[in-house]
Chains A and B, each alone.
Chain A
Amino acid sequence: MSITTEGMKAKELLAYYQAKADQDARDAKARGDLVCWSASVAPPEFCVTMGIAMIYPETHAAGIGAKKGALDMLEVADRKGYSIDCCSYGRVNMGYMELLKEQAMTGKTPEVLANSPAAKVPLPDLVITCNNICNTLLKWYENLAVELDIPCIVIDVPFNHTMPIPEYAKAYIADQFRNAISQLEVICGRPFDYKKFQEVKDQTQRSVYQWNRIAKMSSYKPSPLNCFDLFNYMALIVACRSLDYAEITFKKFADELEANLEAGIYAFKGAEKTRVTWEGIAVWPYLGHTFKSLKSLGSIMTGSAYPGLWDLHYDAHDDSLHSMAEAYTRIYINTCLENKVNVLLNIVNGGKCDGIVYHLNRSCKLMSFLNVETAEIIKEKTGLPYVSFDGDQTDPRNFAPAQFDTRVQALAEMMEANLAAAE
């Protein structure tokens, strides 16, 4: 890609760098260089230091879902024996992987792959996984490694049943970082470049800093940011946080939002009636519907803990790697209920929200099975109303638009009544 990025708006930069990341991986594959598939919150710092091109199956699957291509991939996974109970990101990815494998083995592109709206990404030479957002990522990556007969790097971040995070947990994770480095030295056949590693960590921190600048913009009332936009920009904090692609794009977006705020330009043109927190993953095949449904009610999303998963700030100069270990293990869904609730409370309060929408996600047990308790505690602490809807991140069969609409309408009525009573 030889297009200049000068003068591009943040939205254009997002599209450009998303496409470029995939292109980088295709180019790497064509050159005979290594490609790694990675879990979305696994540390990319080690692979990027080694010059390995990264692909993120969860982001890729979300993209397929948003482009209405999930069902074809889910059917392939179904034929291979994957139960509908397995995470739909995982099933979409296993379906896609099987098609790529068939293509590689037969030299022919399966029709379903040729017709898929999926971004074209190459098969991996290795995979890296981390269970800070679920243990499903351990199972899914075991299967990728075995079905493709490739190395699997595991970063296990134990569930923090008690907070604060104990030193021995950080020591265990830091030891795994060092082990990952050794594994990569063997896989790549060359020593790890610690000078480059420092640069990559510094770059990651700059990306995270700009990401957090954007997230903070929803604290203004009225808000210049609709957090639905974060679902889109998330692609780069996942896939490119250790490259400057993310930093450049997020800085531009944060600058634009700040300029808008100063000029009095708001996301809903100032017509926001109520503000909500969205707890859970987006419903990618119905992203537009969920956005429009809330917008039609004047409800703006100013809180979401999901994008906050990538608030991976750490001390990049801590050679013990304990700080980095802590950043990767403190993800709120990897902690006890009390901490989880506190993180979400900060989101709700920070976004000055009037209510909360809980996504009971058929694909994500970890982000669903504590919803009842979380909702009750937050209701008790804030008095804010909430609703829950049934959905799925990428399997369109598990979401009913009418149910969603009814639920958020009920929430809007409760929020408006509360606001009227307060006036």
Chain B
Amino acid sequence: MSKVEAILKQLADVAANPKKAMDDYKAETGKGAIGIMPLYAPEELVHATGYLPMGIWGGQKQIAKARTYLPPFACSIMQQIMELQCEGAYDDLAAVLISVPCDTLKCLSQKWKGTSPTIVFTHPQNRPLEAANKFLVEEYKLIKTKLEKVVGATITNSAIEDSIKVYNENRAVMREFVKVAADYPQVIDPIARHAVFKSRMFMEKSKHTALVRELIDEIKASPVQPWDGKKVILTGIMAEPNELLDIFKEFGVAIVADDLAQESRQIRTDVIDGEEGPLYRLAKQWQQFYGCSVATDTKKIRGKMLMDMVAQTEADAVIVCMMKFCDPEEWDYPVYYRQFEEKGIKSLMIEVDQEATAFEQVRTRVQSFVENM
């Protein structure tokens, strides 16, 4: 096994078994883990406690118990999370941090079925205003106070500054990884690419950074090879399960960039340096964030952003990974679809349902899309 293969396997193992990653962390550090619900949270505050921030992004369960609490038209990822809550899958978490940037999450924040305490906070949506930053600082102060209670220790500004540095470094290395994955699709296939992203949700970030750094350096030691397959950009909440990504692999489709909430949206903006306190700068990151369906934007630059990404990466098309029953994403679609049509950008919408077990329909659609490209 080459070094590249070994690192990819290590990251894929973490992505596939978050419970083990958490247990290993506990054994190593003697500290617990705190759940981070989608889509965005100031993870740095959790990291500063020494606890492990654990991403909560659903699974591949057959929905049964969740049916009691959610009607079928709730989005696929929240159905999964509700099912896992009912099964007690998250009960080892010391707390769960929940943001509420969509109507479904507002409701979910009020009906956690597990035993862990929840910490709920609201992102402001009138983001251009300074008043929004001030509001969010107050929300972050609440989170900090509640986290301190959970872990039984004070979170110092110095610890938060250290965590901000760790996170900025991880975001930077992941942005570099995205470029490397685009240049070396023969080495980083869609499933491996996803595993590198997903593993960062279950690992202490400086360790993840070190592994990805090593991975990048190893890959870049070899020359770039020409790619005769197609190149695409993914947009949406997430592109799971692996069976879906396997279809891209099968038809020689490389993912040269993404705009997925689970992946590149998490690393899009850094926490800026400056004289202001860390909570203010963390709040400012939300103001500077862009291109996501749950971060209000009256100019709706997402379409332009995606078209710029297509130009920069010379992608052949945009694949819309539409989370089933996610209305914020569904509201964005008609606008950027029209913009794509006007500019001649090819796109294909596929449905993402974490519960899915049959992929023949998607396979056929991707196949014919690739053939017609």
A residues lining the B interface (CB < 8 Å): 80-83, 85-87, 90, 94, 131, 134-136, 138-143, 145-147, 152, 154-156, 158-162, 166, 168-169, 171-172, 175-176, 179, 336-337, 360, 362, 365-366, 368-370, 372-373
Contact = CB atoms under 8 A, between A and B. Distances in A.
B120 interface: yes
B330 interface: yes
Given A82-B334, A366-B103, 12 more contacts: A90-B331, A139-B327, A156-B126, A156-B296, A158-B135, A162-B142, A172-B124, A175-B129, A179-B126, A337-B110, A362-B73, A365-B104
Interface string B120-147: 1111111001011011001100100000
Interface stretch (B179-187, B203-211, B235-243, B297-305): B297-305
List the 7 shortest-distance A-B pairs measured between CB atoms, nearest first.
Answer: A369-B107, A175-B131, A139-B331, A81-B334, A172-B135, A337-B110, A161-B120
Contact of A179 (B104, B122, B129, B296): B129
Given A138-B296, A158-B135, A80 B129 contact: no
B293 A139 contact: yes
A169 B297 CA distance: 21
B101 A135 contact: yes
B328 interface: yes
Contacts of B126: 154-156, 176, 179
Given A168-B134, A171-B131, A337-B110, A369 B74 contact: yes
A138 B134 CA distance: 21
A146 B300 contact: yes
A366 B120 CA distance: 16
Contact of B135 (A134, A168, A360): A168
A141 B296 CA distance: 10
Interface in B333-353: 333-335, 337-338
A133 B294 CA distance: 16
Contacts, number: 144
Contact of B106 (A90, A142, A159): A159
A366 B325 contact: no
Interface string B54-91: 00000000000000111101100000000000000000
B330 A172 contact: no
Nearest to B123: A158
Contacts of B299: 146
A90 B332 CA distance: 13
B237 to A, nearest CB: 14
B72 to A, nearest CB: 10
Contacts of B337: 81
A360 B139 CA distance: 32
A166 B331 contact: no
B102 interface: yes
B331 A143 contact: yes
A358 to B, nearest CB: 11
Given A143-B300, A175-B131, A158 B104 contact: no
A166 B129 contact: no
A168 to B, nearest CB: 4
Given A166-B138, A373-B111, A138 B125 contact: yes
A417 B103 CA distance: 37
Given A161-B122, A172-B135, A136 B68 contact: no
19 contacts: A82-B330, A82-B331, A83-B322, A83-B327, A135-B101, A139-B327, A139-B331, A142-B298, A143-B331, A143-B334, A146-B335, A160-B122, A161-B120, A161-B122, A162-B142, A179-B131, A337-B110, A366-B103, A369-B111
A140 B111 CA distance: 27
Nearest to B336: A81
Among B111, B298, B333, chain A packs the most CB atoms within 10 A around the CB of: B298
B131 A172 contact: yes
Nearest to A131: B125
B298 A365 contact: no
Nearest to A77: B334
A113 B142 CA distance: 51
B55 to A, nearest CB: 21
A87 B100 contact: no
Contact of B132 (A162, A166, A172, A362): A172
Given A154-B125, A155-B126, A373-B111, A86 B103 contact: no
Among A161, A175, A176, chain B packs the most CB atoms within 10 A around the CB of: A161
B331 A366 contact: no
B168 interface: no
B108 interface: yes
B157 to A, nearest CB: 20
Contacts of B139: 158
A372 B86 CA distance: 15
Contacts of A135: 101-103, 106, 125, 294, 328
Contacts of A94: 334
B111 A158 contact: no
B131 A176 contact: yes
A135 B101 CA distance: 8
A187 B334 CA distance: 27
B107 A365 contact: yes
B109 interface: yes
A365 B331 contact: no
Given A158-B122, A176-B126, A373-B110, A147 B325 contact: no
A321 to B, nearest CB: 12
Nearest to B120: A161
B332 A139 contact: yes
A188 B271 CA distance: 37
A362 B74 CA distance: 10
A160 B110 CA distance: 11
A131 B330 CA distance: 18
Contacts of B138: 166, 168
B69 A372 contact: yes
A147 to B, nearest CB: 7
